Structure 1
Amino acid sequence: MYRTTVLKTSFLILNICGSLSVNAQQPKLPESAYNLILKAPVSTWDEALPLGNGLMGGLLWGEQNTIRLSLDRGDLWDERTHGEKEWWKKYTYQKGADMIAKGEFKTVGSWWDEAYHGVSPTKLPGGRIELKFPVKELVKDFELMEATAEGIARFNSGAVLNTFYSATDPVALLSIKGTVPDAVQLFSPMDVFRKNTKGDGGPSSGGSVSKLGYPEAIKGKSANAEWYIQEAADGLKYCVYIDTKKNGNETLIALTITSTTDSKDPLALARQRCTAALNKGYQAMRKPHVKWWKEFWEKSSVSVPDTAVQKQYNLVQYFYGAASRLKAPPMPLQGVWTADNGTLPPWKGDYHNDLNTQMTYIAYQQSGRYDEGASYLNFLWERRTFFQDFARDFYGTSGLACPGVMSYSGQPLGGWGQYSMSPSMSAWSAHLFYLHWLYTADDAFLKEKAYPWSSDVGECMLGLLKKDSNGLLKLPLSSSPEIFDDSPKAWLQPNSNYDLMSIKMLFLSLKEMAEEMGKPADAKKWAAAALALGDFHTKADGTLLLDAKYELTSSHRHLSNIIGIYPFNLITSEGNKKDQQMIEASTKSWDKLGTRSWVGYTFSWMSCLRARVGDGEAAVKNLDIFVKAFVLRNGFHVNGDQTKSGYSGFTYRPFTLEGNFLASQAVHEMLLQSWSATPGDVHTGVIRVFPAMPKKWADASFTNLRAEGGFMVSAVRKNNKTTSFSISAAKSGKLRIKDNFDGRAPKWNLKGITKAGDVYEVTLNKGQKLVASFN
């Protein structure tokens, strides 16, 4: 059964008020001009309007006189292991290391890769609803009303279908006015498979749903309702239920998905939920839903002078509200929008911890979507017992480790062993706990979750790391995600720069958290471990290598060897001369290698990285390419270049979400940064207002973005100059602000501001606000 422990933050939301222009700002609800509008026909599920409430998701699409709503629920999973059950207990990390040392690469590959070749474990689709209207009724367009999270389908006749997935109840409602559907049909995934004529989904798909071997769904009907109950695996049954009611000239449809994790009788529960929703009616159900979304949007907002980027930013923030909630499963590769074409989702719709989960949850901190981000942190926290068992059984250590590729329950799925079974993926996941603490300044979260979970990862790493002849800590095996694919060459010389950077960032963050908690012995231990990892591997000119031996010599999709620049701030533009050399040489090397083997997320990740080092022009260039070439018309990120313009050699279209969230974060990185140039030292973050602005973004603003240390920041920029900003404190402490104001001195509303070098400093009390303006 799925259980959740609500992760609470004590972040103080402060209203900004005052006389200066910046203080008149309030976060804006998304303007209707930026709504997602799709002209009909929409003939494929992955170009549909995305709707959801975290637990359930829906895709609205169709053509001619047919409207479809594809159905999904986040915890519908088939957890059956392919091959030997709990294979990781037999084919352990140390056995793999021993075999690789002997050159037995194929043997290890068969151990760790074979499990992924099965149909399951996999995320499951939920089928669809099809509404057939009179032949004369032709759908004209679809619109996503982002401010209220409603989908609309309009007909040429003037008839309208409105729908929303309730933000407060586990149901969805459809209201149809101006016409009446001739038929409302419910299709199970196997029904969809039989209707589909496009094969088994291509190379990234898990194959057709028929391969699951499930019995036919049990279908039922009553006067106004229709349902099916699908028996899945391991005792799971789920019920998809729709009920219809006529209210004058309105046809009202309620739908829900229940399962045996909710009730022993999912059909009775589904009937109860839909009946209650229909009795309340569309408008009564809509009222709390709209209130929830209003509060969601009022957390923060940004405004940039680029329509395509603004639309993508708004849409991606909407994704957090639609697909990630405290009491619901976090987003896997496709969130709550699993493939609806008779196939299983690309890459099993799983949780990839070598990039995808970390980058999907990289953009919530600055926008203040803490509850939405906590969905993933709670998920990791609740599975810590299994992860502790996995560390013991597979790695032979204490502490915990989350598999590099895992199912909803947390079990390892296998795959290319170089990353699917890599321990350093857990260090990268721990980084999200650290960031959550930095941005919320929530001491309870630090004590109760961030430090316990992350320090357990640290103990696992210490259990694996052994000193070499030079006294440096080394892993038994090392790799750099997806570099050299699954070839023997992919086993790099320990430690690869990726492993080195991931683990060093972990140890430094643990040092910082331990110091904040008053644990000097722990802080000393983690600091010593970070130092004992040694320096990064570079060429003489500073170019970051893959490991001590290999250089990246061809274009690649994963920025793993330069991860120390972003998202980790181990190598910074404000660092020493060596840092500057590494940044300059490594970015030049990546530019020279070209983008032939990049995918969509590479462009949005590179945009973040270039913004982090202050290169706004390169940041916006990469972001523009992403928005232009690597999203479908509904905004979904697809891995290949859809324009076939030569941006990438990949032109396929498997849909995953991490590229979208990286694009949203790239906007944040251009508008506001607050990282410390000395990670591991407590309270050394510096706020940088508009740190990487391209010239074409001459006018921009943001309201209530968050900064490390629990600060809330708003700012306005006009004619390529910052005109005003304000910063509010969630807790008492020192505030540091980078002077990047082109020689102009701010006019402050408070006294006591000092300057050390190019950084302004002031101590603020909890709830106090600093306001600056420029003449």
Structure 2
Amino acid sequence: MKIVFILMLKMATLVGYVVAQESFPVKPLGKTIYSGVFTGNGLLGTMTYIKAKDAVRIDIGRTDVYDHRVNRESALFDKARLPIGHFEIALPDTICAAAGDIAYRSGQATATIETAKSSLHIKMLTLAHRNLIYIELSSSRGQVLPSDWSWIAEDAQSPRMAFGYVAKPDNYQTNPKGVLEKNNDVSVYKQPLLAGGGYATAWKSLRRANKVCYLVSVGYSKQSDQYVDEAIDAINSFPINRLDDEIATHQQSWKNYYAKSTLRIPDVQLQQFYNMQLYKLASATGEDKPAMDLQGPWTAATPWPAYWHNLNIQLAYSPVFTANHLEIAGSLMQLLDREQENLAGNVPEPYRYNSAAIGRSSSPDLISPVFLELGKEDYNWEDGRKELGNLTWIMHSYYKYYRYSMDSKAYDRLFPLLKRAVNYYLHLLEKDTTGKYHIAVRTHSPEYPGSYHYDSNYDLSILQWGLTALISLDKERGGKDPLHKKWTEVLANLRDYPQDESGFMIAKDLPYAQSHRHYSHLMMIYPFYLVNWDQPENRDLISRSIAHWQSKTSALQGYSFSGAASMYAMMGKGDDALRSLHTLLTKYVKPNTLYAETGPVIETPLAAMSTVQELCLQYWDGKVRVFPAIPSTWKEVYFENFLTDGAFLISARRKEGKNIHVKILSKEGGEIQIDPNLTGNVSWSSAQKNVKLLKHENARYVFFMPKGSEVVLFRD
């Protein structure tokens, strides 16, 4: 019996599932980045779309190209993300048809452009293992290929300068104009920066059979002119005689990437959407690559040329853990590790010895001061300088990175920084007349107008999570931290979340009275699950709070619907979650799955990817839940190697509307508490004799599993 069910799990037929797709069509190819086809390798990227009636453009991006002027706090201007430029391909006559395709499982994009007299096929790869872009032009009709290939540079200034409604610095200086040069057979556009260093785009053309090919690279440096050599060397060192092997290596890396986890659902639209978010993640960042900002490598006109810390970066990284791609998460952890000194410098001077924080937005240096200080309040601060909880919320991602890997080195970096983030809160607490701790300064609850108030639910929920995480982490090492007693006391005596008859309020004395796209006042429900559906006494409060939030529609945006869908999933309401997801997809997500709020922002579709995972697998309150919120129309669902807390890989299959088996693989050893959601007579088996069932009650199983062991649970 054991062998039969293990084989069934490994084979898992695809009857009733969406067949594994290889690509995502974009038809027709449009005139903006939102209907273009894109590639990326975590550093460089391309975006191809129509520029004019007789021209195509290929945007070039590099994720770490930021200005770096001295002004400490001007992240949106003096230290903004800078656009690079694009190639233009002029055609001999008017375009009559254009279509694109993103082959996400092999990491390439194609565009086919038809005119009355010609046909142009463009293939683009941003090589996974090199800082190099390969572009290939061919024609299915055998015509002479267009030779009008030109580089159009963007001005090296903050993109925010182009938006009239935002306040701008009085004396903003534009960087010098770039220079087009030739280095043997390599063309180079050199863009120096006032602050030193600069960036350069280099390209070289060559012919292969009946194709015209281009190699493109971008170099960047903050200090010297080595950025020119970097770009040129990337091209000259490329073994063009081994092009086919290089492409095969690139494609294999994408194949390996997708093989780390698998999801099959019967919803064609959501399945393709999910697959594209996986592609987007590895295109936008990766191990030892810059952390994701709001754009990834696909720059366009935007008022958001920076990192945003009160929702965006947290949502962007949210799906990587369950998807078993901790290497993607590594880019964020490396950023936090590298900039700890600046994070400490973001708090007022009296607290810097043991605290850290970050305001609303920053450049990659993470300099973004928070001005909150006990006994000192000033209405003239920008709202982003009053956001207390942003860093602690980001640390939630670091905590998951550790818990999903169980890497002791990650623990050693996580624990002291999380302590610093929570310490800032502790400096600002006082006891009220009832003996409850409360935040004794006014803070700003993100996105809600006029929310400079005491005891925001945003901050109370983040603080409660931070204290809970610190206590848990310290217990793993024996509970010896000198602050352990303080954390326990504050947690036990923290003031209750402000609420009224409609549910959770924004803050003390501030009800939720106008539409609010952010769920900053509901974070105790999601993503922290501090108030959850396993608590019968809170179910009515949860339902009222979500319904009241969603009832005011005027300000709702895309992530309002992904957030609500995740909350419905926690409640086990798969049909409601699915409706919310489809609202997001049909109303807000663009044809190529990008997303925009005035300018491109990357986080919302990635947050929706997390929601899709949560329909299939959830972890909160110490328990893994398998297929907890499957929509009633999804009769056949399958996932393999989803990662969860404790470094356990979970695989499961649902057939004819019922769960039939669940496999658990322990990567690091330990205990797992799991609800496999199996009905009828349930059995379990393991090939390892030292696996132990410690407890089984109320459909919940607790196993002790040594490192490398497997357990399969199945219906008899």
How does the TM-score come out when normalised to structure 2? 0.89
| Change beyond 3 A, Cα 1:634–1:526 | same
Q: How does 1:325-474 map to 2 (within 5 A)?
A: 325-339=286-300, 343=301, 345-347=302-304, 349-393=305-349, 398-412=354-368, 417-446=382-411, 448-474=412-438
Equivalent of 2:669 in 713, 721, 732: 732
Is residue 386–residue 443 contact of structure 2 (8 Å, CA) maintained in 1?
no
Q: How does 1:234-249 map to 2 (within 5 A)?
A: 234-249=195-210
Cα distance in 2 for partners of 1:150, 1:241 equals 20
**Alpha-carbon displacement from aligned partner over 1:396-438 (angstroms, at most 9, x marks no partner):** 5622222322112212289973344422111111111111112
Cα distance in 2 for partners of 1:17, 1:478 equals 61
Q: How does 1:498-517 map to 2 (within 5 A)?
A: 498-517=458-477
Amino acid at match of 2:435: G
Q: How many residue pairs align between the two structures?
A: 688
Is residue 670–residue 690 contact of structure 1 (8 Å, CA) maintained in 2?
yes
Amino acid at match of 2:285: S
**Alpha-carbon displacement from aligned partner over 1:227-281 (angstroms, at most 9, x marks no partner):** 2111223113111111111223222201111022496432223222112226345
Is residue 405–residue 421 contact of structure 1 (8 Å, CA) maintained in 2?
no
Amino acid at match of 1:122: A
Cα distance in 2 for partners of 1:313, 1:212 equals 42
3-state SS of paired residue (1:526): helix
Alignment pair present for 1:167 and 2:109: no
Structure 2 unaligned spans of 5+: 371-379
| Change beyond 3 A, Cα 1:192–1:397 | closer
Shift of 1:578: 3.1
Equivalent of 2:607 in 652, 662, 684: 662
2:630 equivalent in structure 1: 693
Point out which structure has higher relative CO (alpha carbons under 8 A, 6+ apart): 1
Amino acid at match of 2:541: M
Alignment pair present for 1:71 and 2:60: yes
How does the TM-score come out when normalised to structure 1? 0.83
1:260 equivalent in structure 2: 221
Cα distance in 1 for partners of 2:547, 2:312 equals 25
3-state SS of paired residue (1:122): coil
Is residue 203–residue 217 contact of structure 2 (8 Å, CA) maintained in 1?
yes
**Alpha-carbon displacement from aligned partner over 1:715-772 (angstroms, at most 9, x marks no partner):** 111222112221111122222222533x423221248544123312222111111112
Is residue 392–residue 398 contact of structure 1 (8 Å, CA) maintained in 2?
no
1:646 equivalent in structure 2: none
Amino acid at match of 1:698: K
Is residue 6–residue 712 contact of structure 2 (8 Å, CA) maintained in 1?
no
Equivalent of 1:289 in 250, 264, 277: 250
1:61 equivalent in structure 2: 49
3-state SS of paired residue (1:432): helix
Is residue 41–residue 64 contact of structure 1 (8 Å, CA) maintained in 2?
no
Amino acid at match of 2:284: A
Cα distance in 2 for partners of 1:413, 1:46 equals 34
Alignment pair present for 1:152 and 2:88: no
Cα distance in 1 for partners of 2:18, 2:216 equals 27
2:31 equivalent in structure 1: 43
2:6 equivalent in structure 1: 19
Cα distance in 2 for partners of 1:385, 1:716 equals 47
Structure 1 unaligned spans of 5+: 1-15, 88-114, 640-652, 677-684
Cα distance in 2 for partners of 1:205, 1:57 equals 30
Alignment pair present for 1:583 and 2:572: no
Amino acid at match of 2:507: D
1:761 equivalent in structure 2: 702
**Alpha-carbon displacement from aligned partner over 1:528-583 (angstroms, at most 9, x marks no partner):** 232232222223x58212223222022210111111010001111112x4322321
**Alpha-carbon displacement from aligned partner over 1:94-113 (angstroms, at most 9, x marks no partner):** xxxxxxxxxxxxxxxxxxxx
Amino acid at match of 1:749: S
Amino acid at match of 2:547: K
1:723 equivalent in structure 2: 660
Shift of 1:211: 6.7
Is residue 66–residue 132 contact of structure 1 (8 Å, CA) maintained in 2?
yes
Cα distance in 2 for partners of 1:329, 1:191 equals 20
2:568 equivalent in structure 1: 610
Cα distance in 1 for partners of 2:119, 2:242 equals 22
Q: How does 1:694-713 map to 2 (within 5 A)?
A: 694-713=631-650
| Change beyond 3 A, Cα 1:292–1:212 | farther
Q: Larger % of strand: which? A: 2
Shift of 1:132: 2.6
Shift of 1:288: 1.9
| Change beyond 3 A, Cα 1:623–1:20 | same
Between 355-364 and 59-68, the greater mean CA deviation after superposition: 59-68
Shift of 1:518: 2.1
Amino acid at match of 1:442: D
**Alpha-carbon displacement from aligned partner over 1:37-95 (angstroms, at most 9, x marks no partner):** 223442123322121111112111126553321111111112336xxx446xxxxxxxx
1:96 equivalent in structure 2: none
Alignment pair present for 1:544 and 2:504: yes
